[in-house]
Structure formats: C-alpha cells, structure tokens
Amino acid sequence: MGANFITGTGTDIGKTWLACALLRHWRAEGRGVAAFKPVLSGFDPAHPAISDAGALLAALGREASPAELDAIAPWRFVAPLSPDMAAEREGRRIDFEQLVGFTRRAVAAPDQAVLVEGVGGVMVPLDDTHTVRDWIAASGLPCVLVAGSYLGSLSHTLTALEALQKLGAGVTAIAVNETPGSAVALDATLESLSPHVAGISLVAIARASPQAGVARLAALAG
C-alpha cells in the first residue's frame, strides 16, 4: 500500500473531507489505514472533535483524545492563520527538520495506506524560509493535489502544479472537488485542465455522488 501527501490549491478546498472519504473507503475494504495532520491552525482545544485532526480521527474510528491528537497533529495552533503567523502569535515556531522527520517516520509503517494532510495550499509559509511545497519535497512523498471547480480554479491549479513540479514533487493525481454553487461545470473544468496536465490522472469528485471519484482516487493512491 502507498503513502500520499494531501495538499491543495488553497485553503477550504476540501482536503480534509476528501482525506476522510478515502480513509473510510479503504477501511470498508478491510485495509489498514493511518492518517496525520502534523500542522493544524485554527484549533480550538475546547472542541477538538470539530477540528481537521478530529475529523481524521473519526474517519479512523478513533476519539479526539489528547493522546490521539498528539500522535497525529503535534503542531497545533489556536489562531486560524497561516502556520508561521499562528505559531508566532503563540511565541512558537515550526522546526522544519523536526516536521520532515516526523512525516518520514509517520509513513514508515508497512502494510498500510497512509495519508499526510498538509495545511492550507501548496505555497503556504511554515516559517521564514519554508513552505508546504518544501515540506512535500523534503518528505519524499507523492501528493494528491486537491482543486476546485470555481471560476479561477484553472489558474490556481496549474500554478500549484508548476510549483510542485519545480521542486520535483511527484503528483499521484489531481482531484477536482466540485465547488458547490459554481457557475463552472465540473466536467468543463476537467476538460480544460486535461491538455495542460499530460501524464497526471485527473479525478472528478462530484458532490452529489462522490463515491465513484473517491473509489478511483483510492485505487490510484492506495
């Protein structure tokens, strides 16, 4: 089984929702799974279950206890800001080498499908010199790039893809997560993207019936 980094073209694009859908799909098939959200902004200690890490734990069939949260999301910050800003507000910083080391150890478990979910989009700063893109490249993991179907997503998706490829990050697939209420059709988004992403699988995730897309992505990433 494989390990993949789940990243996105921006924040609130559906990374956690899609990661949870993949985890539930693999569990329903009887597979061993693991998931991590090492860096988490906007975390409310009073309501851990509603956080991204809490959602991943629920998809794994585990509770959002302090010990479980520490195991999958050790860098948690309260402010809903970029990680560098959120860390600075608490007088903390993200040690990039420690983060990369944690990620490599997390995906070392054999016989499991493993997901590592990033924070925000591909180019979100982690500190003064590193972005999520650097984290992906240093971890050595291929990634699933989650995009939307809103107006403007074509440019955002191709820009994110170019940024990843510039550092040699492998891309398992681009998952186009249908944007609710968008004037741009999901099929039209994929049709326009297709000639610009030769050799990379495009997977449509339809909101009304996501099962087929999730199953296809699970086969590619698992």
pLDDT value, residue 111? 81
Mean pLDDT on 30-41: 97
pLDDT, averaged across the chain: 96
Kind and range of the H or E run holding 132: helix 132-139
Mean pLDDT on 96-122: 94
pLDDT score of 95 more than 90: yes
Kind and range of the H or E run holding 218: helix 211-221
Nearest-angstrom CA–CA distance, 100 and 134? 10
Catalytic residue among 3, 20, 34, 37: 37
Pull the structure tokens for residue 199. Answer: 């050799």
When pLDDT is cut at 50, 70 and 90, the band that residue 176 belongs to is very high
Q: How much is the pTM?
A: 0.96
Nearest-angstrom CA–CA distance, 137 and 41? 21
Question: Is 166 an annotated catalytic residue?
Answer: no
DSSP assignment of 19-68, as one string? HHHHHHHHHHTT--EEEE--EESS--TT-GGGSHHHHHHHHTT----HHH
Mean pLDDT on 171-196: 97
pLDDT value, residue 1? 59
Nearest-angstrom CA–CA distance, 92 and 89? 7
pLDDT value, residue 206? 97
Of 173, 103, 110, the C-alpha closest to 141 is: 103
Q: Please state, for a pLDDT cut of 90, what percent of the chain lies above it.
A: 96
Beta bridge partners of 171: 143
Angle (nearest 5°) at CA 6 between 80 and 30: 120
pLDDT score of 109 more than 80: no
Structural domains in the chain? Answer: 3-221 (3.40.50.300)
Q: Please state, for a pLDDT cut of 70, what percent of the chain lies above it.
A: 99
Nearest-angstrom CA–CA distance, 64 and 198? 40
pLDDT value, residue 189? 98
When pLDDT is cut at 50, 70 and 90, the band that residue 222 belongs to is confident
pLDDT value, residue 188? 97
Of 61, 63, 65, 64, the C-alpha closest to 31 is: 61
Which of the 8 DSSP states describes residue 117?
A: E
Residue whose token pair is 């699970």: 218
